Structure 1
């Protein structure tokens, strides 16, 4: 994948995550705010101030996630963003992270 293709894909993925969080917030499923600055998406859970940071790393062609539970790297393989360590899928992992950090009922983040 070229750098331009990666940047386009990463941008679309960050936008999809932001849109999903905004929809969950509008549905009162979570209390979170997203802010985006270039290739960095910050999700703040307002009830406890915890944050999740998702950013693209063009040189590595990866998306990186920083959360309370740790740091994770995802590479695009066969149409999915997969964790470079355990092959878990990005949106499933973000759903688990958001559920844990929001302190509420299960949250599903889907593209």
Structure 2
């Protein structure tokens, strides 16, 4: 993957996270504050816990930090997969966000 391809795919991921937050706030009143600064999105839940998602440009990875731990994801041509085999980014984000918020939350890679 070239640097430009990585940047395009990483930007799509961050935009999908932001759009998922907007949808969840509308649909289930999740009260997620998505704060974007450059290549990083911080999700702040009503209980003040956070999930941080950021680009790691030199490695062509996306990093996710949650209460469950820190995770690294690489694009496999179809999805962002955990580098240690722990699953797909959006499935894991949905699980971690649900655990931290106490709500059933589903994040999606699909852009509106």
Q: Deviations over 1:33-53 (max 9, x none)?
A: 10101100010002x100000
Unaligned runs of 5+ in 1: none
TM-score (norm 1): 0.93
Match of 1:38 in 2: 38
What do you get for the CA RMSD once the two structures are aligned? 1.0
Which runs of 4 or more aligned residues in structure 1 lie more than 6 Å from their structure 2 counterparts after TM superposition? none
Structure 2: distance between partners of 1:4 and 1:86: 25
* Structure (1/2) with the larger helix percentage: 2
TM-score (norm 2): 0.92
Query: 1:78 deviation in Å?
Result: 2.7
Structure 1: distance between partners of 2:25 and 2:49: 15
Structure 1: distance between partners of 2:106 and 2:88: 13
Structure 2: distance between partners of 1:24 and 1:2: 33
Structure 2: distance between partners of 1:15 and 1:94: 14
Match of 2:2 in 1: 2
Q: How many positions carry a matched residue from both structures?
A: 109
Correspondence 1:110 to 2:84: no
Unaligned runs of 5+ in 2: none
Tell me if the contact between 1:29 and 1:107 (Cα under 8 Å) persists in the aligned partners: no
Query: 1:87 deviation in Å?
Result: 4.5
